[in-house]
Structure 1
């Protein structure tokens, strides 16, 4: 929608009133605005604009008691119930390290934030919501029945923004970088890959060779990567559930990566969605948006790190799954995870089907 045809705050609120049960994200898309702009239009009507820095938002979350943390991208939503604690601030990356809350936060991508009090059939639902420069959700924190309401009210008062106008300027969404490979450097890639001692070294190594994640996966070859059939995602989730092993599921927005460690118990398909519906953890995954799946092995000092990673048609990362290593509170799942991954059908099998 062109800038001069954007709906006014009054028109946005009227649209919300006509569609009380429609999800904010879907209504915003229908109106041609971002989700953050939809909330901004309701400032003074159950919404308060807040200062968006994670130090304030996450600091407040640490006082709320039990809450639900939500991080999503276009294809996957992760919802984890627990307590925020052990917040470690950082200029470029901050962290929450507290089972089951395990977050990597990128402060420079948090551009706006709101406290939301929304009337529902079950009463008022309260949340703290942070957004990136395009107005897309970076991270959301929803209060539960057991949460500390006085702490929420105190957070709203302390974090209240100086500008409570009912509009918000946003920037165009960043486009997903397409797969970037450099076939002339494949031998250097393989040599550098084999020399890694930590998975985080991958980014600088690939970057120096003018490649990104998916581009490098496509050309490095065995034994480091194996292309899997897209249908292997559903098979993998069911195999993990049936084996009863814990895994680490990474789901990221542009402003946060949310990691959940544990086993899976209840899988429920619904149309294109595969849903994990477990106490304390829900995952909603659009299987029809999975365009590429890779089994990836990176060497580390503690042994090989084996992951399964899914990408959308634009090359955007949907999720990563790793086993739980030794030394965690949960059982070491590396050996049974390897068996599951080795049994997943490769891309050639999918093409032959």
Structure 2
């Protein structure tokens, strides 16, 4: 650790590149974990060898990503990866959050966490990769054969930083906040919950009352939040795929939320992974990481918004699944939720 509290790694960039050359097929995230690196340190070591440091903030980066055409957008947390093909469009800036609202790429960005960004080229493979202060991946954009390579070159030229060093000073990773709540305010929580008119009011409500998301679910209980069996997430994906019921899947981390809206087709388990493998949408979920699942009912002006939400053992949110009003089928989605096993039934 440096004198200013930032983290440094004993492996030099030359050594990191040499080790990588010995294991070129290993996924970048797995390679970094094997060698005690943050993933961003592995990427930074490639600067001057296929990687270029570029400006990271969404206000600078995403408008130029919008020029790349059809690409693959990837967002992940420790337990889930979401990958969506499409074109970034309709970028909206904001003081605290930014967004793109395209028909296929639908995302929310929290630019304060977009601290390190790189453009990578390896043969025909091109990508843009963004990392947070701890060196964890926030978001990645992978070019596909249909993407505009000339636009990628213009992006790199426009956003290239003067600093092209091949090492990073990182900060310690923030711990996941444990579930919290105030037992004396539970009745206030329930009363205010019942008055909500929009799902976006929820986090402001629970924060005001000194709860967090999972703490609020545990304290409020039914009918607002019902504990479900862990296998209910996989069952829901299987059943909506079979019935072609539209849904919305939200997967994110502290810097980014990526959303899939529409139907899903092919759900394939592989070991601990639950996978959706569709032509323009993939989801990879570690079923064995799911420690708690909640069926949540939030009132809105358009009727109740029901969701199934999965959390890991530390209380971190893995993913949320809602019905899609835009694509219809809310009643069918809600009926599918109602048929899933409760936690008590699994004991």
* Structure-1 separation of matches of 2:9 and 2:306: 49
* Structure-1 separation of matches of 2:298 and 2:9: 50
SS of equivalent to 1:339: helix
* Partner in structure 1 of residue 67 of structure 2: 63
* Partner in structure 2 of residue 48 of structure 1: 52
What's the CA shift string for 1:7-34, capped at 9, x where partnerless? 0000000011000001111111112111
Is the 1:110–1:255 contact (alpha carbons within 8 Å) kept by the matching residues of 2? yes
* Partner in structure 1 of residue 132 of structure 2: 132
What's the CA shift string for 1:206-243, capped at 9, x where partnerless? 11211100001011122111100001111111111111
> In structure 1, which of residues 24, 27, 33 is the aligned counterpart of residue 31 of structure 2?
27
1:337 lines up with 2:337 in the alignment? no
The unaligned stretches of length 5 or more in structure 2 are: none
What's the CA shift string for 1:152-195, capped at 9, x where partnerless? 00111110011001101111111000000211111001101001
* Structure-1 separation of matches of 2:24 and 2:223: 52
What's the CA shift string for 1:99-126, capped at 9, x where partnerless? 111000001110000001124xxxx210
SS of equivalent to 1:127: strand
* Structure-2 separation of matches of 1:318 and 1:61: 26
The unaligned stretches of length 5 or more in structure 1 are: none
* Partner in structure 2 of residue 18 of structure 1: 22
SS of equivalent to 1:250: strand
* Structure-1 separation of matches of 2:215 and 2:312: 14
Is the 2:8–2:170 contact (alpha carbons within 8 Å) kept by the matching residues of 1? no
Is the 1:111–1:130 contact (alpha carbons within 8 Å) kept by the matching residues of 2? yes
1:263 lines up with 2:266 in the alignment? no
Q: What CA RMSD, in Å, does the superposition of the two structures yield over aligned residues?
A: 1.2
* Structure-1 separation of matches of 2:115 and 2:311: 26
Is the 1:230–1:291 contact (alpha carbons within 8 Å) kept by the matching residues of 2? yes
TM-score by length of 2: 0.97
Deviation at 1:272, TM superposition (A): 0.3
* Structure-2 separation of matches of 1:269 and 1:306: 25
What's the CA shift string for 1:85-107, capped at 9, x where partnerless? 10001121001001111000001
* Structure-1 separation of matches of 2:188 and 2:253: 31
* Partner in structure 2 of residue 112 of structure 1: 116
Structure 1 residues 84 and 90 mapped into 2: Cα distance closer, same or farther (>3 Å)?
A: same
* Structure-2 separation of matches of 1:234 and 1:84: 29
* Partner in structure 2 of residue 282 of structure 1: 282
1:249 lines up with 2:253 in the alignment? no
* Structure-2 separation of matches of 1:148 and 1:203: 39
Structure 1 residues 4 and 319 mapped into 2: Cα distance closer, same or farther (>3 Å)?
A: closer
* Structure-2 separation of matches of 1:4 and 1:58: 29
> In structure 1, which of residues 322, 325, 348 is the aligned counterpart of residue 344 of structure 2?
348
* Partner in structure 2 of residue 213 of structure 1: 213
Is the 1:116–1:128 contact (alpha carbons within 8 Å) kept by the matching residues of 2? yes
* Partner in structure 2 of residue 177 of structure 1: 177
1:194 lines up with 2:198 in the alignment? no
Is the 1:115–1:128 contact (alpha carbons within 8 Å) kept by the matching residues of 2? yes
Is the 1:139–1:253 contact (alpha carbons within 8 Å) kept by the matching residues of 2? no
Deviation at 1:144, TM superposition (A): 0.5
* Structure-2 separation of matches of 1:33 and 1:97: 34
SS of equivalent to 1:200: helix
What's the CA shift string for 1:58-77, capped at 9, x where partnerless? 11111111000000000000
Deviation at 1:202, TM superposition (A): 1.1
Is the 1:298–1:304 contact (alpha carbons within 8 Å) kept by the matching residues of 2? yes
Is the 1:57–1:128 contact (alpha carbons within 8 Å) kept by the matching residues of 2? no
Structure 1 residues 302 and 5 mapped into 2: Cα distance closer, same or farther (>3 Å)?
A: closer
* Partner in structure 2 of residue 75 of structure 1: 79
Structure 1 residues 49 and 223 mapped into 2: Cα distance closer, same or farther (>3 Å)?
A: same
1:95 lines up with 2:96 in the alignment? no
SS of equivalent to 2:82: strand
